[in-house]
Structure 1
Amino acid sequence: MGVNDVRNSFTASALLVAAVVLGAGAPAAAQAPVPPNTDPTLRIIERILVKVNGEIITQSDLEERQVAAIRASGVQPSTNAELMQLVQEVTPSVLAAAVEELLLVERGRELGYQLSDEQFQDYLDTLKEDNGIESDEQFLQMLEQQEGMTLDDFRRLVERQMLAGQVQQVQVLGRVTITDVEAREYYDSHIEEFTEPAHVTLREIIIAAPEDPAANLLADRRALGEAEAVRERVLNGEAFEDVAAAVSDAPTKENGGLIGPFQLNEVAESIRELVAGLEPGGVSEVRRTVQGYQILQLEELVEDVVRPFDEVRNEISQRAFGERREEAYREFLDELYAEAIVEWKSDELRQAFEQYRNRQLAAGGQQ
């Protein structure tokens, strides 16, 4: 089966999504879509895409997940062509998630996990209460109309999610620990993430001058002389903000020339060098800029502040735990994949799956 076969066989479900997503603007072909067939006797002849340890993922399984992924993305395609493009984009990750879930569910069954009638009823009661659903009949109607599912379909979905979750809780989270030594090592190796960068606040006075001094040398010299005289006024005791408000040609004159605060590592190197040579209240030499001649005053400089380890200990634990959990999950999945017998019925889907998985593994190795 080729990619075109997969795309063509998805068209009915794609049009169903179009009806939901596009509403009144959906193409005419999507106005009255045929709902997916849920008759289990007919699913026997469905196209099988992959077998995992004997369990199958069918075309309908994939389509249902594609529909859900597109709806969850919040993207609203305006044409069927755009919708089909979305289908192609989500398929690798959707397929990988389906295979991973199947591996987790199988492991859960091996461990004896199951969804009891009581657990399922409790789940339904909570779901109905949270969504303001008053009766079982109303819930079943909503399930059919909005999701195209029967109660048995929904139970199978809930059971898959529960088994996968339990396996991750026991088999993955049980492997993850963060000691004080490891937390300290994480802190030391990520110290920049726990550092408040230095920031600087300045005041400026700008005396406008020709952008090209050579084009009007007399006007440029006049502006330079005025700027030097203004600087002398400040050095002789006049408040910088008062002088800025009186003579500056910059918009900042309205607030006494105040600019900032800025993170010091985000300002131009020439400004950093200038600031390094000033104390708070200090005034720079006259400097040429595109706007004209500029005089700066250092209003405030706050150096880097490193947050103490004890202050960020819980934050570190959460970060490190999250990273370690993801690493443990990938390792666990690798073990399941290594033990699994996977039979692909489509080379194109297999290649898409393997390329996606290789990208995920590469991304994990770079963390």
Structure 2
Amino acid sequence: MSRVLIVGAGVTGSLCACLLRREMQSKVQIVVWDKSRGTGGRMSTSRNPDGTSSLADLGAQYISATQYYAQAHHSIYAELLAHGILKPLEATVEGLRDVDGTKNYVTPAGMSSIAKHFLKESGAQLHFDHHVTSLFRRGASWEVHRKGGEPEKFDAVVLTMPVPQILQLQGDLSDLLAADQRGQLEAVSYSSRYALALFFPPAATVPVPWAAWYVPGNPCIRYVAVDDRKRGQESPDCGSSLVVHTSVPFGLQHQELDKEEVQPIILEELHKLVPGLPQPTSTKCQKWRYSQVLTAVPGCPGHMTLLAEPLLVCGGDGFTHSNLDGCVESALRVLGALKEASVQWEAPR
């Protein structure tokens, strides 16, 4: 049985693990490492720390499927809808552009439920707080090192973290990169963004008529959402939450600051935009150094094979675009590379 390591428990990594299990059944042992303490990557969901059931999506907010991708990825959407992971977005979103044929969906259990579903289907060994630092080629295997732990060997490695983090890895990776590959990876760029969640106690009311609002012309805040209302789950018996996303220029201007320094700035601007907010029981601020892809790898190939044997392949939205369909496209391309490599795994050694 061959060991495959997938680095990153976001949508690309989790779907890749799921598809690999369905294609190769018991021929592979799938291991997923993530440096964070939870699933979802930039489709993350936070729960109110006071123990109430309110959730807040601090990354992606909803799913938009164009006519093309709704057809191309029909099986994925059908599966997520059948399991109740997705449901149609019916709440009012002020400023949302209406694109012909595009369907919008929300996640009743939060955006991270998409990655959780695929990871569960994959049966992968999932490990959090596993921060990969370096990779070394050892014959027909990769020796993967992480912070605070012993290195492990794998027959294939899939890297799905943001491209700048791939380029920071130590070991043999730097020597293996061809000049054109390095140039393509170094050209990938991302926006930076801060997200802030305010959790309110049960029976507290957020005094706005909308579920979400794209704020025009504000230098700090681009988007605000009453998160439970956005998902169609508003209830006076449960605590509510409000999510704020900053603008791209604000993120660029403040990207070197700690989130503790930025949170008061966001709160001050929020109270100007939405006066009369109830007192939150808790808040959580998230800094996304790599938020959405501004410039992807040319041609959006979905993946890049850095070495064919032993296989080392990269995937993620840096090779496509930053939404669910971009992650699906990348996972499918990575799966193709893994299936090709499986021929070598099954050959006598």
**Could you say which TM-score interval applies, normalised by the shorter chain?**
under 0.3
Q: Is the helix fraction higher in 1 or 2?
A: 1
Give the TM-score, by structure 1 length: 0.18
Q: Is the strand fraction higher in 1 or 2?
A: 2
Greater Rg, structure 1 or structure 2? 1
